Amino acid sequence: MTSQSTATLRSRYVEQAASDLEENRRRQQELSEKIAVLRQEEALLSDIMRLAERYEGPSDPSRLPEQAQDEPALARSRRGGESTSRKGSAAGAAAQNVARGKARAKTAAKGKSRQPLLGDVLMELLRRYEEPRLAKELRDELLEKHPDRTPTPQVVRNTLESLVAKGRIRRHKQQRSVMYTLVEPSRQAGATEAAGTSAGDS
């Protein structure tokens, strides 16, 4: 083999190696892009799963399953013709979890709906005392006897003032403190009649 043919052969090998190296790098770039897309999809599906597990039922719970199904569809549209079987099963699992969360939320809502109104609970607490009680004392007793209910001090005060306006309890001021007592049934009926008469006169 002459030196010229050896140089030609070497040149061909170098060109082939360079071409293969370029093709290898191009494929690496494509794979890197696909991996990035798959990671984004994994993060999205993980978020959907976490949301489904923590779901407590917002004001319009019927929207959440639709969102859970639509979000993987957006990811599918970005990637074009990639296989959808894994995504479909993951989205289906997420939707099932959301549905289970919604059922739990409905059960919890039913449990809450059976609870007595806050005003009724406060009146029941006042019924046990003849002397006036502070709103703070009533709230502390409420939290102790009903640990599942945690109204803020402002909510308790507002509820008590609402009961005062309805004539069901009385407000007493002692220096800077405001205290409350239960109105006796006979007085309560009289207050209700008086309120109705004044409303009719107006």
- Asked if pLDDT for residue 71 goes beyond 90, the answer is no
Of residues 94 and 49, the one with the higher pLDDT is 49
pLDDT at position 202, please?
47
Q: What is the CA radius of gyration of the chain?
A: 36
Say if residue 103 is in the same domain as residue 126.
no
Rounded Cα–Cα distance for residues 65 and 52 (Å): 9
pLDDT at position 94, please?
61
- Domain end: 96, 113, 130, which one? 113
What pLDDT, in 10s, does the model give residues 49-65?
Answer: 888 887 655 545 455 55
- When mean pLDDT is compared over 64-68, 86-90, 107-111, 152-156, the highest value belongs to 152-156
Mean pLDDT along residues 110-122: 76
Say if residue 91 is in the same domain as residue 137.
no
Q: Lowest-confidence range among 12-21, 145-154, 157-166?
A: 12-21
Say if residue 132 is in the same domain as residue 182.
yes
**Domain assignment of residue 11, given as a range:** 3-113
Of residues 94 and 113, the one with the higher pLDDT is 94
The proportion of the chain whose per-residue pLDDT surpasses 90, expressed as a percent, equals 27
Say if residue 173 is in the same domain as residue 75.
no
pLDDT at position 66, please?
47
Rounded Cα–Cα distance for residues 189 and 171 (Å): 17
Say if residue 107 is in the same domain as residue 130.
no
Say if residue 109 is in the same domain as residue 21.
yes
Rounded Cα–Cα distance for residues 68 and 66 (Å): 5
Say if residue 12 is in the same domain as residue 81.
yes
What pLDDT, in 10s, does the model give residues 162-197?
Answer: 999 999 999 988 888 899 998 876 655 554 555 454
Say if residue 29 is in the same domain as residue 81.
yes
List, as one string, the DSSP characters of 26-95.
HHHHHHHHHHHHHHHHHHHHHHHHHHHHH----S-TTHHHHHHHHHHHHHHHHH-SS--HHHHHHHHHHH
